[in-house]
Amino acid sequence: MTALPHGLIVIAKRDCPTCQLIEPLLADIDRRSGPLTVYSQDDPGFGSEVRDSHYDNSLEHSFRLNAEFVPTLIRMENGKEVERTYGWHREDWQRLTGLDDLGADLPLMRPGCGSKTLEPGVAEKLELKFGDTRLGARSIETDADDLIEACYERGWSDGLPVVPPTPERVLRMLKGTDRDPAEEVGLVPPDLAPCTVEKVAINAVMAGCKPEYMPVVLAALEAALTDEFGLHGLLCTTMFAGPMIIANGPVTKAIGMNSGGNALGQGNRANATIGRALQLIVRNVGGGRPGEIDRATLGTPGKYTFCFAEAEDSEWMPLAQERGIAAGRSAVTLFAAEGVQGIVDQKSRDPESLAKSFALALRAVDHPKMAMAGDAVLVVSPEHSRVFIEAGWSKARLLEELESLLKFPGEEMVAGAGGIAEGIPEQFRDKTVSKFRPGGLLIVRAGGTAGLFSAVIAGWAASGPVGSTSVTREVKV
């Protein structure tokens, strides 16, 4: 585009009643207050009586002039914008043009319309064509009639349809974060491939995320790439586990995450697509594909997506705060999770009885005779948590009680005891054994307000320093 013209500029479109209202004024402005340049977004004949009128068919002028509404009137001096107004405001137009009698017979004010530059899909196309944004990822051209099938054919899918990651969709996704698209988030195993913010956005598009989910996806990926989480080992295991995301803080409400009824199930876009985005990054960037490096014997449906928010509407301290995140901040905790094991206790009305029910269910993690192996998350429903809260039990108090209940005589746990070959080594026969390692049991509150049902989510049996440890990261824009 050539240098911006000196004087007055009007951006308009025929498909706008207010633009039609002011069109008869344009020749008068050009004659008495010019020079005037008119850019029409949809009709080459609009403002044709003005000497310098243009059909802005490509919308380049409208884009570079940052038009959000039409009509827009701009005064330029020495190549710089001095002032602008949009819609029809008689006093503003009279001031900018210097014509005190301009539009005296018109209404005092009429609102304008949205610029064509802001129509769905158009803004991103214009930014990619005329703006400073440049996407760095390799572009793949295809003449396929069905882009979803094309994504399948290239192996980008987890088995479900993905959203084709067009440049416009990727650019829109990148608007959800302030981070540079070229910034490297880390190396994604197993291939240790570098993953930029842009590549995160590509996979977030394919997963079906909204742009506002991007900070959560980025935080989850950062947690997954820490040494403590041990993502490479989690990918290679023949066991069931995969990454599970627990979200806390204001972001969960801002983006509409589900912490209530069916929180661990389907139906919530944020829950479903944030977890799926992380899994697609592991697959498409890191090369973690089933049947290759992913050697799971059975796997788990959670390897499609496993993500939910903690309910924070009670006296219980949220998980993120327990793990060092300041109150009022948002965070995700990543946990190497297997499946969901329900706990049904509809009779316990005191905390001691209910804690014992929970302990019995937790003992089954991995195997009742295995200890200090897999971690676990105890998901306590609102109805069950009320039993504890009304009795004055905090999360910490419940955890203390469970840790006490989950200590067993070694002679009951060693291999061969009870006629069961599975069990811990013989050296622990004369010792008291804890089911979980210190810090290995997490408690979160989630679920619907009706139903005396809670759940155990078992962790990978290689939890701990040699395998995977839960990792919490703050969510930042």
> DSSP string of 178-197?
-S-TT-EEEEETTTTEEEEH
- Label residue 54 by pLDDT band (50, 70, 90): very high
pTM above 0.75, yes or no: yes
Q: Give me the pLDDT at residue 211, please.
A: 97
CA distance 180 to 301: 33
Tell me how crowded residue 124 is: count the other CB atoms within 10 A of its CB: 21
Q: Which domains does the chain have, with CATH numbers?
A: 7-130 (3.40.30.10), 149-474 (no CATH)
- The phi, psi pair for 342, rounded to 5°, reads -75, 150
Residue 37's H or E segment, with its range, is: strand 36-40
Segment among 201-210, 250-259, 363-372 with least mean pLDDT: 363-372
Distance between CA atoms of residues 39 and 72, nearest Å = 10
pLDDT in tens, 341-389: 999 999 999 999 999 999 999 999 999 999 988 899 999 999 999 999 9
- Region 422-442: what's the mean pLDDT? 94
What pLDDT band is residue 465 in, cutting at 50, 70 and 90? low
Residue 134: predicted pLDDT: 80
pLDDT given at position 121: 84
Q: What is the pLDDT of residue 34?
A: 78
- Per-residue pLDDT for 422 more than 90? yes
- Cα separation, 284 vs 97, in Å, equals 57
Query: What is the per-residue pLDDT across 86-107, written as a single tens digit (0 to 9) for each?
Result: 999 999 999 999 999 999 999 9
Query: pLDDT averaged over the chain?
Result: 94
404 or 464: which carries more pLDDT confidence? 404
pLDDT for residue 196 is more than 60: yes
Query: What pLDDT does residue 231 have?
Result: 94
* Confidence band, pLDDT 50/70/90 cuts, at residue 142: confident
Answer yes or no: is pLDDT of 1 > 60: no
Average pLDDT value for residue range 196-214: 98
Q: Looking at residue 464, what is its pLDDT?
A: 65
How confident is the model over 249-272, as a mean pLDDT? Answer: 97
Three-state secondary-structure class, residue 287: coil
